[in-house]
Structure 1
Amino acid sequence: MACQHTVLGPAIFAGVGVHTGAHVRVAVRPAPADAGVVFVRTDVTDRDNRVPVSGEAVCKTQLGTVIGNADGVTVSTIEHLMAAFAMLGVDNAVVELDGPEMPIMDGSSEPFVQILDQAGRRRQEAPRRYIEILAPIEVVDGDKSARLLPAERFEMAFEIAFASPVIGRQAVDLPMDEQAFRRELADCRTFGFAHEVEALRAMGLARGGSLENAVVIEGDRILNPEGLRRPDEFVRHKALDAIGDLYVLGAPIVGRFEGKLAGHGINNQLVRALLDQPQAWRVRTFAPELALAV
């Protein structure tokens, strides 16, 4: 896409937060060109309730991506909506919600894709900015790593390994555009282990988690009666998460992402490492009349 886009009209939906268990209503509304994505907590009235998305706004990454503002207002679990925004080409939007966490829906990005399709998208008279990777950037934490490499298009590669026989070692490597996202990743759900649920709930997490919004593994079996949507749904969901985590940069990537055993924390470390090395990337556009590196 050469130009920026926003939603054509409001997209209104509701659901439960996977960690808080709170029922939340959401309205995704159009925003002006160059506004980016801004979350607005309509339930907060005593301080600044606007939380603009940026790499620096990410304040927590335990089992999800959380952003916050200077007044301590936060919005949790934004990554699945952000992945849909990134791959459907939504540059600018106001996301109003009346609670602390985005609804988990079915645990994937597919409901958000459907919601955005219903709302429609509107082209804006401003060039879409892309982040072109010029030199490798990598972060490593033990056996976990994530890196960005130069490439002519956006590519997503991910590898995971779990002791569980249900998962084992899985890898995916895909050139990624809107159609590939819809076809290969959007419907892949988040997952967890039954034996971890009580500990997570004691920490205030997973209070809204259920078989309706996550793949749950117990021993050597999957508890969901419908089973998996894809044999390698687990690694594909991790790739989906990474797309959403990268889009906090405010622009899509022209480059290759490689994640190994990575999660939200390392993904955000990579975002911050990129921002700290301006010589390793540049902003560019692809509008014919404006196709100049800036």
Structure 2
Amino acid sequence: MRKQQTIKKKFSYTGVGLHTGEDVTITCKPLAVNQGIKFKRVDLPEQPELEVTVENVYSTIRCTTLGTDKWQINTVEHFLAAISAFQIDNLLIEIDANEPPVTDGSAKVFCQFLQEAGVEEQEEEVTIYQIDQPLYVRKGGQYLTILPSDQFKISYTFVSNHQGLTDQFAEYVISKEVFNEEISSARTFGFAHEVEKLQKAGLALGGSLDNAILIADDGPINKLRFSNEIVRHKILDIVGDMKLIPEFRGHIIAVRSGHELNFELAKRIKGLITKEELSC
């Protein structure tokens, strides 16, 4: 058990959206106990809100999107990963566009703002669930499973048939310190041959070498921050996507998985929690 947490003071940040290419501002404010993580679209007339839960996922195509048929918030996974690492349970995120700023393509900037805002312990306790049986999802050559463990651990194998990339592996027990030092600065990535297609579809309009690793035929164009930066970013995405469900302990093992499988596993874990109430 641990106490619920929020931030000590509000903060704002303005940057470009990865897919829209437009400026967007987020303002984060403390919330009282048992309120959860909430997004609020302040640019829309009714300023609608939704809670960050797996039930409110709208799409997992190339990113995790929350929302309804009328409005959405895209690419939430990087910010959610930082919130997860800092164990923030209650937070209001006001946003004036349909996606958070991409920053440098990682979660590092969000971690810095959370560190500066400070974390405040609250009165109510958090229930942390213990996975007591294996769960497994698969799609083609993509695999994702979770095994019982008394830690939140992620092992990821990145397998690529791209001539400019090698297979990569990384494994971490996730904590605030490990996330900050080893994972938070790993950037999102994309392939040069896909850029034109994506932009014609209205995606990646804000993408640049300042906020993404661009992979050409012979490999990454950017200088990498880690030799296995790509697999570290895939772990970052899993941390963010698992913030969609109650906190748990288990060992996630991934092979080539992305947001779609992350979402499917999150639903399976949530179903197990709801059915059996597996509190630690």
**What TM-score results when the alignment is normalised by the length of structure 1?**
0.91
Amino acid of the residue matched to residue 104 of structure 1? Answer: V
Q: Whole-Å Cα distance in 1 between the matches of residues 200 and 14 of structure 2? A: 25
Contact 2:127 2:247 survives alignment (8 Å): yes
User: What secondary structure is seen at the aligned counterpart in 2 of 1:44?
Assistant: coil
Name the counterpart of 1:123: 121
Contact 2:164/2:216, CA 8 A, preserved across alignment:
no
1:64-143 equivalent positions in 2, closer than 5 A: 64-69=63-68, 72-143=70-141
Read off the aligned partner of 1:243 and give its amino acid letter: V
- Does residue 177 of structure 1 match 2:172? no
Could you say what secondary structure the match of 1:140 adopts?
A: strand
CA 1:280–1:149 in structure 2 vs 1: closer, same or farther (change >3 Å)? Answer: farther
TM-fit CA distance, 1:275: 2.5
Aligned length: 280
Structure 2, unaligned runs of 5 or more: none
Q: Is the 8 A contact 2:186 2:233 kept in 1?
A: yes
Which residue in 2 is equivalent to 1:40?
40
Give the letter aligned to residue 224 of structure 2.
Answer: L
Say which SS state the counterpart of residue 277 (structure 1) adopts: helix
Question: 1:165 deviation in Å?
Answer: 3.9
2: distance between equivalents of 1:33 and 1:248? Answer: 17
Query: Do the aligned partners of 1:132 and 1:281 also contact (CA within 8 Å) in 2?
Result: no
Unmatched runs of 5 consecutive residues or more in structure 1: 285-292
The match for 2:238 is 242
Separation in structure 1 between the aligned mates of residue 237 and residue 189 of structure 2, nearest angstrom: 12
Q: Contact 1:37–1:52 at 8 Å: present in 2 too?
A: yes
Could you say what secondary structure the match of 2:205 adopts? coil
* Inter-partner Cα distance in structure 1 for 2:140 and 2:214: 27
Q: Secondary structure at the match of 1:56?
A: helix
- Separation in 2 of the partners of 1:178 and 1:145? 26
State percent identity of aligned pairs.
Answer: 33
Distance in 2 (alpha carbons) for counterparts of 1:81 and 1:124: 22
Q: Counterpart in 1 of 2:58?
A: 59
1:163 Cα offset (Å):
2.0
Name the aligned partner's letter for residue 43 of structure 1: D
Q: Are 1:282 and 2:277 an aligned pair?
A: yes
In the alignment, which residue of structure 2 is the partner of 1:228?
224
DSSP-derived class of the 2:277 partner = strand
Distance 2:262 2:275 in 1: 17
Going from structure 1 to structure 2, the CA distance change for 1:81 and 1:239 (only over 3 Å counts) comes to same
| Structure 2 counterpart SS, 1:255 | strand
| Cross-structure match for 2:259 | 264
Whether the aligned pair in 1 keeps the contact of 2:131 and 2:278 (CA below 8 Å) is: no
Cα-Cα RMSD: 1.5
Distance 1:23 1:107 in 2: 15
Deviation at 1:282, TM superposition (A): 3.4
CA separation in 2, counterparts of 1:277 and 1:162?
32
Partner of 1:288: none
Q: Which secondary structure does the structure 2 equivalent of 1:210 belong to? A: coil
